[in-house]
Structure 1
Amino acid sequence: MSNAANDARAPAGAWDAHADDYMRLFSPLTGHIARGMVALVQSRLPDAPCLLDIACGPGDLAVAAATLCAERDAGSVLATDISPRMVALTQRALQPIDADARAEVRDGQDLGLESASFDAALSCFGIFLFPDRVAGWRTAAETLRPGGLFATSVWRGPESNELAKAQMGPLMSALPARLTNPPPRASWADLMTAEGLVDEITRAAPLIDPEIHILDATLALPTPNAMWRGMVGNPITGALIAACTHEEREDVERAVLAAFENRSGGPDLPFLLNTSCHVLIARRA
């Protein structure tokens, strides 16, 4: 297999490997946000909505959307993700719901779906992580009928989001200087403000009348070590940790766990972090 092919498969493989941990550790948090996103748009949808979930992860938003369709006894849901494992988890979660809902492996940067075929496209903490976000925003908009709704969620910055500050602060302090000089900047840093999020999306895609909502929630993990395990497996933070040598990683783990345990009050106590995100809602021109 060529290097190019390996590179193309890497994002899917990384999220495949993280899928089960993500569902167990972080889905209770992100699922809360996903259900909030569906609640924010549901009164504006037609009676029998055709709904698209982009970067569905383990299926929380798709389940909320399918439940809405089941309550109305009308409508359909298509959930998509680049990760086959995430799609399998979503399909399993959708099975008990009496609705026209399915999950498929598709790349959100090029979905290959018919244009103007959905009433709403939603992405809960998905498109903002794409290697080509502009393609993601544009592709999402292209799937919408005129006037169709787009909604997406993005984490707020550390000044407003305890998760970003308390998770990344100890990691950045513990990493070797060769990995933090210059300090790494999140690829989505410009989207952490409402203004930045609106600006990028409305420039990238034919989406109008943007509005921003703030949704807060608490991440509750059983122990500080659960947070560390989740960071190691996450394709974003895990890439930084994987760049360490074996000895460096041991030092980083000790330092980060010490900071987390100090925050929680001990190694066997729950680890709680308040989180905050922006939800952008706009409509197709």
Structure 2
Amino acid sequence: MPGNPLAAAEPWDLVADEYAEFAPAIMQPFSARALELAGLSADSQVIDVAAGTGMLSLLAAERVAQVQAIDFSDPMIRRLVAAAQAAGLTNIEAQVGDGQALPFDADRFGAGFSMFGLMFFPDRARGFAELFRVLSPGGTAVVSSWAPVVESPLMRMMFGAFAAADPSIHEPQPNVLSLENPDVFATEMREAGFAGLSIQRHTISLTFGSADEMWETMVRSSASMVLMRRNVGEEVWAERAALMRAYLADNYRPNRPLSTTAFLGIGHKPQP
């Protein structure tokens, strides 16, 4: 999406450490579901595009022969490599690179993934085309994108907090031109060459022991919040953070489950 600040590496560079610590609570269940849908085997060769700090790569490496991970953020890749080493996983190769121009031969991987990454690409069509190119015939791709915020009580709670701190921030309305529209999702995958398409809705629920725990999990790993903090300065950020935390304290009941939903696009590269 042209003009989207999250299509650049810088905000992800800034949030890499916090993302590695806090984001798995939200992201790992979707990665686990994506791996189930791909039908992997012990000899599978896998590519993880826009891999971030490696949530899918680390899970996949425990069940496949080889994982190639690529992301445009060097700090994210360094965190991925460190996590793989700490876990004793020797079958992950990670590098900095562009998911719109993958540095791999065609027809190489039996499965390919992009978890909440390709959705931000400036040229989504190119991202889908590259993922299709590097898959071997018969290979499976699974790509995830968030459903509209209106379908996510978790995200609605957070946007309520944002608006409490800055009334100019409004809850995003559904974007019918993005991957949060299942018809667009399927069309873009089909145009890249994928067949046997299925766009599946997957919902998870999270609970937090306190409003402060919710704040830590949702905000410290958010690239958007890092950008806001940098743009407004520390003094204004401190004022806004206090207002957001107060909103959550007033509106979140400890251990209350809040759901969030994503779409998982599954497609296959046809056999010749």
How many residue pairs end up in the alignment? 263
Which residue of structure 1 lines up, in the alignment, with residue 204 of structure 2? Answer: 217
Distance 1:144 1:19 in 2: 28
Residues 261 and 104 (structure 1), Cα distance of their counterparts in 2 relative to 1, 3 Å cut: same
Residues 187 and 214 (structure 1), Cα distance of their counterparts in 2 relative to 1, 3 Å cut: closer
Query: 1:153-207 CA deviation, whole Å, 9 max, x = no partner?
Result: 1111133222222222332464254x66xx866879622232232123323x111
Higher RCO (CA-CA < 8 Å; seq separation 6+):
2
1:62 is aligned to 2:57 = yes
Q: 1:146, CA displacement in angstroms?
A: 2.0
Structure 1 runs, 4 residues or longer, greater than 6 Å off = 183-189
Normalised to the residue count of structure 1, the TM-score between the two structures is: 0.79
DSSP-derived class of the 1:94 partner: helix
Given candidates 15, 23, 37, the residue that maps to 2:20 is: 23
**Equivalent residues of 1:67, 1:97 under 8 A apart:** no
Given candidates 126, 132, 147, the residue that maps to 1:141 is: 132
Normalised to the residue count of structure 2, the TM-score between the two structures is: 0.82
- Aligned sequence identity (%): 24
Residues 184 and 176 (structure 1), Cα distance of their counterparts in 2 relative to 1, 3 Å cut: same
Matches within 5 A, 1:76-225: 76-95=66-85, 96-97=87-88, 100-172=91-163, 174-177=165-168, 190-203=178-191, 205-221=192-208, 223-225=210-212
Matches within 5 A, 1:243-262: 243-244=231-232, 249=237, 252-262=240-250
Distance 1:173 1:198 in 2: 36
Distance 1:228 1:11 in 2: 25
**Equivalent residues of 1:155, 1:161 under 8 A apart:** no
Given candidates 31, 37, 42, the residue that maps to 1:40 is: 37
Distance 2:89 2:20 in 1: 22
Residues 189 and 271 (structure 1), Cα distance of their counterparts in 2 relative to 1, 3 Å cut: farther
The residue type equivalent to 1:256 in the other structure is: M
- Consecutive unaligned residues of structure 1, counting only runs of 5 or more, are 1-7, 70-74
The residue type equivalent to 2:250 in the other structure is: N
1:276 is aligned to 2:255 = no
DSSP-derived class of the 2:67 partner: strand
- Consecutive unaligned residues of structure 2, counting only runs of 5 or more, are none
Query: 1:116-136 CA deviation, whole Å, 9 max, x = no partner?
Result: 211111111111122332222
